[in-house]
Structure 1
Amino acid sequence: MTNLRIGVMYDRDWAPEELPGFARRAEALGVDDLWVVEDLGWTGGVSAAAVALGATERLRVGIGITPAPLRSPALLAMELATLARVFPGRLVSGIGHGVREWMEQAGVAPRSPLALLEETITVVRALLRGERVTVEGREVRIEDIGLVHPPAEPPPVVAGVVRPRSLELSGRVADGTLIAEGHGPRDLERVRALLAKGGAGEDHTLSVFAFACVGDDPDAVARALHPSTEGHGAWLGRPQEEVFTVSGSARQAAGKISALRSAGADTVVLRFVGPEPLRQVEAVLGAVGR
């Protein structure tokens, strides 16, 4: 699968202190990317990315995703610039709306989530390019701010979005789009059409998260996946059996990764469930010829 990046998610439920060792082992296995999570109450995405980058030498680390309402765009750009200068070419920053209920719990729910996301991504990208920024937007207000230490190589800023208007927004303002777990090849056809409608060019990347479980016992694989696919099916508004996963034997999992690639994915990030996730990583990488 030439040119396809294969990544693994460090699940939000795994202990933060075990991240450095996991990152080193994933890198040794040949994984291209490691993605960390920022969900309210779990772990901070920027700090987790710094831990993973500092523990490894070549691994690209993605932040998936920082909720725009929780982050000042000026501060977020400062944090990303620091990481991008210390670890050039090894960072991807995902930004999204955030779960509405969580944003309300934190007291930061915006009046217009679409405006906030667009303005945040636009400001962060401009600051990372070394520009001085003044914005009087619906949600973001910035007056004559620039970074003293912008990175020579600005990291990609991708939008983690699902809904049609948000996908169009991503095509308009982001370097790429990150698609949540449960979306399969047929979903990616719709996604690509909406991104193009927003103005995405050929350099706009498409990364896909996918629940993954690899094993030779189909019943054990199904049992391991069940809580994840049940909850995500409810969130996506589709039957549980229609929640796409990269699962089954290693060969079957490799076939599903290939299908995502054929549908336009540039990066597939596997969110493993079940025992021994690194053993599962190794099996998948072997099946895809890595």
Structure 2
Amino acid sequence: MTDATNARIGVMFDRDWAPESLPGFAREAEALGVDDLWVVEDLGWNGGVSAAAVALGATERLRVGIGIAPAPLRSPALLAMELATLARVFPGRLVAGIGHGVREWMESVGVAPRSPLTLLEETITSVRALLRGERVELDGREVRLDGVRLVHPPVQVPPVVAGVVRPRSLELSGRVADGTLIAEGHGPQDLANTRALTAKGGAGSDHTLTVLAFACVGDDPDDVARTLHPHTEGHGGWLGRPQEDVFTVSGTAAEAVGHIGELAAAGADTVVLRIVGEEPLRQLADVLDALGRRSGR
């Protein structure tokens, strides 16, 4: 992809927003014409599967992504059951993201694995097989499944994507997942590296790349910078890079579309906006207008 107009555009329902506002937000986002809505599962905030169910039930066509279910918190069998239920009721509208989870958070609830890479591989492999209706026998290092099979596997199997950052995890994603979900702050150069690492792991041309991006859209550059600052500062620390190197989709609507185009040119199939600041739906509408993709309301 080389054109922002060809990329799928998604919006994140931020973890800090009250869960009871999710149905209305999802309906409004769908009415604006966005392609995806992504929900978050971070320890102490919202449950990803339940949030996805709320968003799917409130809308008619939106694709809903779970970004991401931490593998240590989830039995692969239970996770596959939950995903299968959603995929049966809402066929073709679910993307399941699975990741390592934040190590400190996993330790705080006593589920930190011996080998995060092994756990993620065994979880994704098992979940995908169960969703395909297979009987799974696995006596792995982290996961044990003794002849488990879903009674109601989905007719349309949802894609399972790995939400990962580090090089070995990206290679793993290319080997075992349907796609890769990249965290906020990663720019075009990072995406080129991501594509190379997933390809090294064995990803084919059908391996999708979904990119989360902080977004702030407005005509006052100083106001946009002030609004973004606390988010990019903290995220820069997490990524281990200077704050000014944290990539965002920001500026005027036209500038934001240009940044989306940069990500699409670097290989992003879907760009998910994590909108910060006031009136997130207005900001989303401005981007969709600039893309020429806003629906009539």
5 Å-filtered alignment, 1:132-211, equals: 132-211=135-214
- Residue 27 of structure 2 aligns with an amino acid whose one-letter code is R
**1:198 Cα shift?**
0.1
Unaligned runs of at least 5 residues, structure 2: none
**1:289 Cα shift?**
1.6
CA distance in 2, matches of 1:267, 1:167: 17
Which residue is equivalent to 2:104?
101
CA distance in 2, matches of 1:28, 1:216: 24
CA distance in 2, matches of 1:209, 1:13: 16
Which residue is equivalent to 2:12?
9
Which residue is equivalent to 1:120?
123
- Residue 152 of structure 2 aligns with an amino acid whose one-letter code is H
CA distance in 1, matches of 2:254, 2:248: 14
CA distance in 2, matches of 1:221, 1:94: 30
2:260 to 257, 261, 281: 257
**Which one has more relative contact order, counting CA pairs under 8 Å at least 6 apart?**
2
- Residue 270 of structure 1 aligns with an amino acid whose one-letter code is L
1:214 to 211, 214, 217: 217
Deviates more, 1:141-150 or 1:1-10: 1-10
2:77 to 74, 99, 103: 74
**1:3 Cα shift?**
3.7
Which residue is equivalent to 1:227?
230
**1:288 Cα shift?**
1.3
1:110 to 96, 113, 122: 113
2:270 to 267, 279, 289: 267
Which residue is equivalent to 1:41?
44
1:284 to 283, 287, 293: 287
For each residue in 1:5-59, what CA deviation from the matched residue of structure 2 results, as whole angstroms up to 9, or x when unmatched? 1000000000000000000000000000000000000000000000000000000
CA distance in 2, matches of 1:203, 1:93: 16
For each residue in 1:172-200, what CA deviation from the matched residue of structure 2 results, as whole angstroms up to 9, or x when unmatched? 00000000000000110100000000000
Which residue is equivalent to 1:29?
32
CA distance in 2, matches of 1:182, 1:2: 21
1:243 to 243, 246, 251: 246
- Give the SS at the match of 1:269: strand
For each residue in 1:84-105, what CA deviation from the matched residue of structure 2 results, as whole angstroms up to 9, or x when unmatched? 0000000000000000000000
- Residue 147 of structure 2 aligns with an amino acid whose one-letter code is D
- Give the SS at the match of 1:234: helix
- Give the SS at the match of 1:111: coil
Unaligned runs of at least 5 residues, structure 1: none
- Residue 253 of structure 1 aligns with an amino acid whose one-letter code is A
Contact 2:170/2:194 (CA < 8 Å) preserved in 1?
Answer: yes
CA distance in 2, matches of 1:289, 1:174: 32
Deviation beyond 3 Å, 4+ runs, structure 1: none
2:22 to 3, 19, 24: 19
For each residue in 1:122-179, what CA deviation from the matched residue of structure 2 results, as whole angstroms up to 9, or x when unmatched? 0000000000000011100000000000001110000000000000000000000000
For each residue in 1:64-108, what CA deviation from the matched residue of structure 2 results, as whole angstroms up to 9, or x when unmatched? 000000000000000000000000000000000000000000110
